[in-house]
Amino acid sequence: MMELRILFLEDDPGDAERVNKALRDAGLSFRLKRVETKDAFVSEIRQQAPDVILSDHGLPAFDGISALTSAKDLCPAVPFIFVTNALTREMEIEKLSPGVTDYVLKTHLEHLGPAILRALDEREWRAGPLTEQERRRVIAKLRLLLKEYELIPICAHCQRIRDNQDQWSPADSFFRKHLNLKFTHSICPACAPLFFNPEE
């Protein structure tokens, strides 16, 4: 893998070092630049867009949401991952909104490396439409899947799917495994009112 350029908005050097260690332990090749202010953040992006942006959520001078807004304006295709001490309901909603790729708790930094790789993989998939060869490959795999599963068992409550090894997994994981499809999260118009109150 090529060396990744990672921009990290973080005011705690100790947390930055822990992130460095977690990414080294994950086997990533990377160069991480830590910044604390809006000016430094914007300057780094304008000089050269990073491959990934990591951001703490609660910096006093330049919070994560402001950083997300700047990143969406300056480099909308770059994955943006919150690295935070605590996850609030508001952040859960933000995770589902366009622009936020993922979040990782600082207490579980072992998840950060896989989150970055998944984000880069999804960005590559979204870079353009399926080629004719890719479309035929997906159709061929779908036909094989339909032969293997005459009926696909799905939980009426949590919507997990049971495979032929009697393992239950989320639908996106099931279809990623069998069809090599990749998914990203968003909120459809019908579900948006459950998360956002237009009167607020």
Instruction: Give all domains of the chain, ordered by start, each with its CATH number.
Output: 4-126 (3.40.50.2300), 130-200 (no CATH)
* Helix ranges, the chain (H): 13-25, 38-47, 64-74, 89-96, 112-126, 132-148, 171-179, 192-195
The arithmetic mean of pLDDT across residues 147-174, rounded, is: 77
Q: How confident is the model at residue 200 (pLDDT cuts 50, 70, 90)?
A: very low
Dump pLDDT digits (tens) for 91-129: 555 554 556 788 888 999 999 998 898 888 766 555 555
Mean pLDDT of the chain: 78
Q: What CA–CA distance (Å, rounded) separates 24 from 37?
A: 25
* pTM, 2 dp: 0.61
Q: How confident is the model at residue 181 (pLDDT cuts 50, 70, 90)?
A: low
Q: What CA–CA distance (Å, rounded) separates 139 from 105?
A: 38
Q: How confident is the model at residue 152 (pLDDT cuts 50, 70, 90)?
A: confident
Q: What CA–CA distance (Å, rounded) separates 95 from 157?
A: 22
Q: How confident is the model at residue 15 (pLDDT cuts 50, 70, 90)?
A: very high
